[in-house]
Structures are given as structure tokens and as C-alpha cells.
Amino acid sequence: MCHIAHLQHAMGGVHWMSSSRPAPLLTASPVRALIDEQINIEGCFLSPNCPVTVCAQMHSEDGDLWESFAHYVAKADGTISLTRDESVGGSYLGCEPMGLLWSLQPAPGGRLGLRLRKKNVETPYVVHMSLLEGHVSPSKSQSTWLAAVTAERWYMAPGVQRIEIRQDGLVGTLFLPPGQGQFSAMLDLWGLGGGLVEYRSALFASKGYASLSLAYVVHEDLPGPKKRVNIGDSYFKAAFQLFKIIIKSVPTELGSSGSALESYPRWRRVEDVECPLLYVLGEDDQSVPNKENADLVEVTLNAAGKSHLFTRLPYPGAGHLIEPPYAPNARRPLYKVEPNKLFAHFGGHHALHAAAQEDCWRKMLAFMESHLR
């Protein structure tokens, strides 16, 4: 019996045997994966053509419950596959292999304005998925629980090193890929929401890049008022120089990367850049005039004879914050609470935003592979 239990755990599913036929089984493969990796979610040993609901639930690091669900109809052989089959109702519609994850939203009755943002990249998101009888809404009704499986979603691959940087006034976190040798490198900067955001850098390092996530506003270790940018060009240049020292040597392939960092528009006019620029544009961005900004950059580079350096990635229906794949979209997150609550309008239609994130991440990695390796 212990051997059966171990086998079921290795398969990524939990179910019990009945005397007549195998009980329903829900599997996820692999059960441990990086956040940008697709997993295969399947159910089997169901009654032919029966309606079922697949539900996902997880808690954020702040303890808030997020959930999603989708309605499926089992095939004649008693199986469902999220990679093959279409959802006919619930949090999303159609064939969406990772829909259960990108459609996660705060559970009804929870706090308003939540945004799912990983703080501790050394731990995974733990997603509990269950298979329910019938087409139901898990939050509103009780249903027969048929099977369940748990999956781990990581931003940091095994072997990635995380190194805190507090030197010469710099505030950041360095992530180094597993193994020895020279790594292509990047400086990872976020927007004016501020703080020290690490999860994208951790994922970059998991893909083989040395990545330094750098804080420059809204951080307690930075000088001056917390909500004001009190550092100048020298701060970013110092970060780049320290970066080169830490990784000991910069490979020749980093020539374009060095130009990109030293020519960052914070301290140079955009027409002075000599490096390729990738501009990601969510066309349903309700927060900033994204399209107008992209047009201005493109016109300026065209006038300077540098149109070949500019690549625009427009995504109709995508909102402001285009994350790594399968992250839930927050259309109206809480931006600040003092002195009054302020909600941001990020926009984005969930399915279109999810498709944009998946496509953008693939093209961003290809762009880096082309110019940094």
C-alpha cells in the first residue's frame, strides 16, 4: 500500500481506489516548475460525458485567498485535459492550458485592490487544484470533491544564487545562474511603484542571465523622502560598475548590454542610444499614455537615423503591467493607502492580457539571446 501512495505522489495526483473501478484522478505534470513553464493538468477515471469543475486555490504571502475555476465535460473515455479540451464556463472560456493559473483572482469577500506579487523568491507559490462533480461555483455551493493535486510554481530555479547588495549607497539584489563561468548580464529596473522587486530577476537568472534588481525609489535604505527619487545618474552608473566587478569579468558579448545600460534614458537623450530597444506596449493600458510614448520614441529614433534599433511589441487588449507568463492580471489594484486609498487603473482584458504575457516573455528572451549572448 505504501508503494501505491508513493507512486501516486510521484505522478502528481491523489485519489483512492474503490472496489469497482479506479476513483477519479487529477494530475499535474510537472508538479514543480518555474513560473513560466506550462504544466499539463488532466483528469481521468471519470464517468463518460459527465460535467466536472476544475478549481485552483492558493494563498498569497499576505494570506489572501486567490481562486479560479473552469467547467469541462469529460470525453467518452472518461478523461479531461486542459491542454486539449475547452472550458465551457467559469473563470475563462475555450482551450487554455494554463487558464486556471492566469485567471486566479481574489476570492469573493476578500480585500479589494489586491495584486499578486511575489516577495520571497526563495519559496514557491503552492497551488491546490481540485476536481469537483458537476458544473459549480466553488465559492457559492458545496459539491462532491472527486480528486486533488498540489503544484509548486517557482521564480528561482535550483542552484540560482541570491546576493543582497548594500554597498556604496546601492540597494539591490543580485541573482547569479547555476554553474561557473561568464554570464551575460542585465540591470533590472521597475517603475515608480518602487521598492526592491526581485521575482523577474530571479527568473532571468533561472534562464542563464546574471541579473541585478536595483531599487531607486520607495525603499527604506535609500536616502531622502521615501516617495521621492533622490538619486541621480551616478547611482545607476555605480550600480553598473559594481555589477561588472561582482561578476568578475564581462564577456565580449556584453558590448551591446553595456551600451544599453550606460545609455539608459534616465541620463541620455533617446536619440543618443546605440543599443537595440524593445518597447512592450499594452494597448489597453489605462494608467499611462503608452502608445503616445512609443510613438515619440520611434519618431525620435527615425529622425536620428536609428530606426533599426527600435522594436515595438504591441498587444491589443493587454493592460499596463505585462508580467512573466501565467501571472494574474490586476485591472484595478490598490496603489497606496495613505493619506487616502488610491486605486490604479491598469486595464487589460484577462485572456488577452494572459496571451500577451506569454508571447512577450518568449520574444523578450529571444531578443536577449540575440543581443546579449
Q: Give per-residue pLDDT as tens, 175-194.
A: 999 988 788 888 999 988 88
Distance between alpha carbon 139 and the CA centroid of its chain, in Å?
25
Among 19-28, 255-264, 284-293, 330-339, the range with the most confident prediction by mean pLDDT is 284-293
Contacts of 57 (CB under 8 A, 6+ apart): 65, 66, 67, 107, 127, 128, 129, 130, 138
Rounded Cα–Cα distance for residues 176 and 183 (Å): 8
Rounded Cα–Cα distance for residues 49 and 85 (Å): 12
Among 137-141, 262-266, 280-284, the range with the most confident prediction by mean pLDDT is 280-284
Question: pLDDT confidence of 5, banded at 50, 70, 90?
Answer: very low
The pLDDT score that the predictor gives to residue 224 is 81
- Strand pairing partners for 282? 315
Angle at 258 between CA 181 and CA 359, to 5 degrees: 85
Residue 356 has pLDDT above 50, yes or no: yes
Range of weakest confidence among 88-92, 210-214, 236-240: 236-240
| 336-357 residues labelled b (16+ CB within 10 A) or e (exposed) | eeeeeeeebebbbbbbbbbbbb
Residues 200-227 have a mean pLDDT of 92
The pLDDT score that the predictor gives to residue 267 is 38
Strands (E), the chain: 25-29, 32-34, 40-44, 51-59, 65-73, 80-81, 89-90, 105-106, 125-133, 145-154, 161-167, 170-176, 185-188, 210-214, 277-282, 310-315, 334-336, 342-343
Q: What are phi and psi of 295, to 5 degrees?
A: -60, -40
Rounded Cα–Cα distance for residues 96 and 85 (Å): 8
- The count of other CB atoms within 10 Å of the CB of residue 121 is 24
Residues 259-270 have a mean pLDDT of 47
Question: pLDDT confidence of 249, banded at 50, 70, 90?
Answer: very low
Residues 48-53 have a mean pLDDT of 97
**Cell numbers found for residue 275:** 543599443
Question: pLDDT confidence of 139, banded at 50, 70, 90?
Answer: confident
Please name each of the domains of the chain with its CATH number. Answer: 2-154 (2.60.40.2240), 155-267 (3.40.50.1820), 269-373 (3.40.50.1820)
Q: How many CA atoms lie within 13 A of 256 on its CB side?
A: 13
Rounded Cα–Cα distance for residues 25 and 7 (Å): 13
Residue 260 has pLDDT above 60, yes or no: no
More confident residue, 333 or 252: 333
Q: What is the DSSP string of 137-185?
A: -TTTS---EEEEEEEEEESS-TT-EEEEEEETTEEEEEEE-SSSS---E
Residue 261 has pLDDT above 50, yes or no: no
Contacts of 109 (CB under 8 A, 6+ apart): none
Global pTM reads 0.87
What mean pLDDT is reported for the chain? 87
Q: What are phi and psi of 163, to 5 degrees?
A: -130, 120
Residue 372 has pLDDT above 50, yes or no: yes
User: Residue type for 340, please?
Assistant: N
Rounded Cα–Cα distance for residues 11 and 6 (Å): 9
DSSP class of 127: E
